[in-house]
Structure 1
Amino acid sequence: MKSRTALIGLIGLIGLYIVIVLQIKADTGPEHGEKLEKGDLICQPDVHAKVGEDVTLDCQLKSQRDVTDRSIEWKFNKINVLVYRSGDTYIGVQANQFKGRASKDSSWNLTKGKPAVKISSVQKTDAGEYTCFVRTGHHTISCSTTLNIQSDSAKLAGSESTEMPTTNQGLKSMADMVTLVLGAFAMLYLQHY
């Protein structure tokens, strides 16, 4: 009977060790140098605006992880809209079309993985696909959004705001619960021996 109890206790301790290792791995994810995956970055599919309006192009890391140490680039037809590296925005590499008009949006928050860009006084020539790139060393992830520009007299169809998805913290909470349960089991086991 004692050996069976000891075996169950040992299995519990091994399970606790595995959960702790997995939790540590989760806590040292992409913000600590791991590769980000393609689906980790989300952009609004479409943005609608009228000529002369200001627009925000949203880009959000699903996990809302800190990307302040990453290079962020917004591009339009392979030209630079906004470039951020090492804590600074590089205006010198910005395309003439966007100088003085493209900047970090007020919702820009790299500690929460949100490099949103604002384009002021949009023109018809600004219409098209914009791509947000997040780079770390040799790893790059990206997502794109399409900016549709209507003349002042045109009616905007489907111009409702598109909300960015939020992170579901349920999985992390479940790992914490499993860790607590296994920890309690290990404590009970150790009290008997």
Structure 2
Amino acid sequence: MVATYPGLILSLLLSTGISQAEAIVCEAKDQVVGAREGGEASLPCYFKNVTAPKELLVSWQLDLGNESIVVLAEYQNGTRSESQSQSFANRTSLPPSWNQSGTATLKIARVRAEDSGNYTCFVRDGGRHRRCAHLKLSVNSGASQPHGGPLCATILFLFLTKVPT
């Protein structure tokens, strides 16, 4: 005869962070992402659907300290939320089949210096939000070239090819 302890099983599920109602499992990674001003930034976010999704929503937010702004919020049918910050309008996108692949990587086009900051990717299925990524975007203006660059190479070439007088 096998004895079952439903309270113990529920306790173990909750202590491991898994609940019976969870439909989304995140592959969260905290990392720093670099981008060049004027270029494109790619902020990765990955999740898995454990059950058939009811109403998936991916929401990327930028932390401004006392508040957060919505960078992009998109439902599984491709409809975007109207709460998107105007500073990111027409510059952000998700992969076309993010709701099937589980890849909700945010692309930011024409990156600006003011885009630097801490970004969080939330995935919602029904009423529950899951934090699936927390990333820091560091935007480089491109003005400095710490590893040399074309100007440095030209100066070095001229120096090395100078004929002694």
TM-score using structure 2 length: 0.63
- Contact between 2:95 and 2:105, CA under 8 Å: does it hold in 1? yes
Unaligned runs of 5+ in 1: 1-10, 15-29, 158-193
What per-residue deviation string (whole Å, max 9, x for no partner) do you get for residues 51-104 of structure 1? Answer: 11111111011x475758411101112111111125123153210110011112
Where does 1:67-146 land on structure 2 (aligned, <5 Å)? 69-77=55-63, 78-90=68-80, 92-105=82-95, 109-142=98-131, 143-146=133-136
Residues 91 and 34 (structure 1), Cα distance of their counterparts in 2 relative to 1, 3 Å cut: closer
Q: Distance in 1 between matches of 2:76 and 2:104?
A: 14
Q: Relative to total residues, which structure has the larger strand share, 1 or 2?
A: 2
CA contact 1:68–1:87 (8 Å) conserved in 2? no
Q: Quote the offset at 1:137 in angstroms.
A: 3.0
Q: Residue 82 of structure 2 aligns to a residue in which SS?
A: helix
Q: Return the TM-score normalized by structure 1.
A: 0.55
CA RMSD, 1 decimal: 3.1
Amino acid in the other structure paired with 1:102: T
Structure 1 distance, partners of 2:21, 2:101, is 17
Between the aligned partners of 1:94 and 1:111, the Cα distance in structure 2 is 23
> 1:60 is aligned with what amino acid?
Y
Secondary structure of the residue aligned to 1:59 is: coil
Deviation sequence 1:113-148 (CA, Å, 0-9, x none): 111111001111000011100112332211211100
For the 8 Å contact 1:131–1:145, the answer to whether it is kept is: yes
Q: Which runs of 4+ in 1 moved over 4 A?
A: 63-68
| 8 Å contact kept, 1:64–1:114 | no
AA of the residue aligned to 2:57: S
Q: Provide the secondary structure at the position in 1 that maps to 2:73.
A: strand
Provide, for residues 142-176 of structure 1, a one-character-per-residue CA deviation record: whole Å limited to 9, x for no partner: 1211100111123479xxxxxxxxxxxxxxxxxxx
Aligned residue for 2:143, secondary structure, equals: coil
User: Percent same amino acid at aligned positions?
Assistant: 23
Amino acid at match of 1:101: R
Alignment coverage as a number of residue pairs: 125
Distance 1:95 1:138 in 2: 23
C-alpha distance in 1, partners of 2:139/2:55?
A: 33
Q: Is the alpha carbon distance of 1:67 and 1:151 closer, same or farther for their aligned partners in structure 2, counting shifts above 3 Å?
A: farther
8 Å contact from structure 2 (residues 115, 137) kept in 1? yes
- Quote the Cα distance in structure 1 between the aligned partners of 2:60 and 2:141: 24
Greater share of residues in helix: 1
1:35 aligns to 2:35 (yes or no): no
What is the identity, as a one-letter code, of the residue corresponding to 1:96? Q
Look up the SS of the partner of 1:42 in the other structure: coil
